[in-house]
Amino acid sequence: MNTSAPFFWQKNPALAWREIDDETVIISPQDSVMHELNDTGSFLWKNIDGRKSAAELAELLAANYEVTPDAALSDTQALLEEMSSRKLVVNAPETGE
Amino acid sequence: MNATVATSGRDSRQQFELSIGSVPLRLQMTDAQLFGAVSARYAAFTDAAEQPIAIDLNDGATAQGALADFGYEFEGAVLRAFSNQICFDAVRNQYALDSLLRIFLSWKLLGHNGFLLHAATVIRNKKAYIFTGRSGAGKSTVASLAPEGSVLTDEISLLRREDGIWRAYGTPFWGEFRAAGSNTSAPVAGIFRLLQAAENRVESLRPMATLRTILPNVLFFSAEAETNRQLLEILNQAAKEIAGYNLSFRKDRAFWEVLPT
C-alpha cells in the first residue's frame, strides 16, 4: 500500500474507542477484538480526522516528538499501514465531486 | 415475595416476575411446561417490583414492520427489543431463555451504568470480591473455597454503578459450582485477575491494566458501534474507580490472607 499517495485517512466509523493513560483502546464490535495504541499511535489516532494525509500527519508527529521529518514519515506510514491492515483506519471519501 | 402467577383478560398467558441486578422483569408465556421450568430456575430471584420490563415469550405477535432497537439470534432462539415490546421467540426450553436473558441484560444494563462479567463473586466482610479470568483460571475453585452462603455467583457477575458506588449483584446464571446465585448485592472491594501460581500474591493494577483484564471477560453481544462506545465508557469508569489486581493463586483457602481488606 502506498500510504504517501495524496489521500486522506479517517477512523473506521464502526469502531468504539477511548483514550486512557496516554494510550488508546479500540474495540471492533464486528469481531469483538480489542486493539491498543501506544503513545505515538494514540497521537496519530487523535489527529486522524479524514482531512489529513500521511505526510501531514507525519509533520505533526515531527513537530511534537523528537524525531526527524524522515523518521516521522517512515513511522507514520508504518503505523497507518498497520492500522489499515487491522481496519482501524480507512481512506476518507473524496470530497468536491 | 412470591412469583406473580396471573391470567390476563385476553389470553391464558402466565407471568413470572423477577429482578436481576435490580432490573425488574416480567416473563409472559402461554407454555405451562416452560413456565414451570422458569419458575423453578429463577425462584431465588423472584421479585414483584413496580413497572417491570415485560418480555413476551414465543408470543408470535411482534410489532410488524418495526425495526428492533436491539436484536440477537442464539442457537435458533431470537431476541428482539422494540421501543414498546420485548420479544423472545423460538425459545424451546429454559436454557434457551437463560441465554437470551443474559444477552438482553448485557444490552439493557448500558442504561444502568452496568455490565455483565465472566467472574465469580464472593462476599467477605460485606464487600464483593470479584474473581475473573479465562476458563480454567479458578473461578469455580474460588467459589468452592468460599464459606457457605457467601457466593453471589460462580460464573456471571453483574456490576452496576449506583450513587457513585460500584456494586456487584448475584445472578441466576450459574456455572459448575452452585445451583443458583444469590439475589443480593454488595459494594465492590476489587476485581482480581486469577493466575494459577505456586504461591498466593496480589499485585495492584493501573486502570489501563484493569480495563485490559475486564474487557475480554465482559459479556456483550451488540455489533453496533454506538452501544459499544457506551459500553467502553462504562468499562473505562469501572477500571478507574474499582481497584484491580493480579491474584497469583495456589488454589487453597490461604489466598484470602493476601487480599486487601
Whether A44 contacts A79, CB under 8 Å: yes
Q: Tell me, what's the pLDDT at A22?
A: 81
C-alpha cell at A57: 500527519
Q: Which one of B107, B211, B224, B241 makes the best mutation probe of the A interface by having the most chain A beta carbons within 10 Å? A: B211
Q: What integer is the mean pLDDT of B154-159?
A: 93
The CATH number of the domain covering residues in A13-87: 1.10.10
Q: Tell me, what's the pLDDT at A20?
A: 82
Q: Please name which of B213, B249, B220, B244 lies closest in space to residue B136, comparing C-alpha atoms.
A: B249
Q: Tell me, what's the pLDDT at B62?
A: 60
SS (H, E, C) B156-215: EEEEEEECCEEEEECCCCCCCCCCCCCCCEEEEEEEEEEEECCCCEEEEECHHHHHHHHH
In this complex, is the C-beta atom of B219 within 8 Å of any C-beta atom belonging to chain A? no
In this complex, is the C-beta atom of B212 within 8 Å of any C-beta atom belonging to chain A? yes
In this complex, is the C-beta atom of B236 within 8 Å of any C-beta atom belonging to chain A? yes
In this complex, is the C-beta atom of B216 within 8 Å of any C-beta atom belonging to chain A? yes
- Which has the higher per-residue pLDDT, A3 or B217? B217
- Distances from the Cα of B199 to the Cα of B116, B251, B255, B258, angstroms: 29, 9, 9, 10
Q: Please name which of B168, B126, B158, B119 lies closest in space to residue B261, comparing C-alpha atoms.
A: B126
pLDDT per position as a tens digit, B166-215: 999 999 987 665 556 788 999 999 999 999 899 999 999 999 999 999 99
Ordered by where they begin, the domains of chain B are: 14-112 (no CATH), 114-258 (3.90.228.20)
Confidence of residue B261 (pLDDT cuts 50, 70, 90): confident
Q: What is the mean pLDDT of chain B?
A: 89
- Asked if B216's CB is within 8 angstroms of A15's CB, the reply is no
For residue B7, pLDDT over 50 is answered with no
- Asked if A34's CB is within 8 angstroms of B216's CB, the reply is yes
pLDDT per position as a tens digit, B212-250: 999 999 999 998 999 999 999 999 999 999 999 999 988
The residues pairing with B219 across neighbouring beta strands, listed in sequence order, are B116
Distance CA B226, CA A27 (A): 11
In this complex, is the C-beta atom of B209 within 8 Å of any C-beta atom belonging to chain A? no
pLDDT per position as a tens digit, A33-55: 889 999 999 999 999 999 999 99
Q: Could you tell me the residue ranges of all domains in chain A?
A: 13-87
Q: Tell me, what's the pLDDT at B11?
A: 62
- Asked if A14's CB is within 8 angstroms of B232's CB, the reply is no
B165-169 and B185-196 beta bridge pairing: antiparallel
Within 8 A of B233 by CB-CB distance, chain A residues are 18
Q: Tell me, what's the pLDDT at B191?
A: 98
Q: What integer is the mean pLDDT of B132-138?
A: 85
- Asked if B232's CB is within 8 angstroms of A18's CB, the reply is yes
In this complex, is the C-beta atom of A96 within 8 Å of any C-beta atom belonging to chain B? no
- How many C-beta neighbours within 10 Å does residue B8 have? 10
Q: What are the strands, taking DSSP E only, across A1-97?
A: 9-11, 16-20, 23-28, 33-37, 89-91
- Of all residues in chain A, the one with the smallest CA distance to B223 is A29
pTM of the model: 0.88
Distance CA B251, CA B195 (A): 10
Q: Tell me, what's the pLDDT at B177?
A: 57
In this complex, is the C-beta atom of A39 within 8 Å of any C-beta atom belonging to chain B? no
Q: Which one of A22, A32, A36, A88 makes the best mutation probe of the B interface by having the most chain B beta carbons within 10 Å? A: A32
For residue A62, pLDDT over 60 is answered with yes
- Asked if A16's CB is within 8 angstroms of B232's CB, the reply is yes
In this complex, is the C-beta atom of B231 within 8 Å of any C-beta atom belonging to chain A? yes
Confidence of residue B61 (pLDDT cuts 50, 70, 90): low
Q: What integer is the mean pLDDT of B131-144?
A: 87
B127-132 and B151-153 beta bridge pairing: unpaired
- Which has the higher per-residue pLDDT, A58 or A31? A58
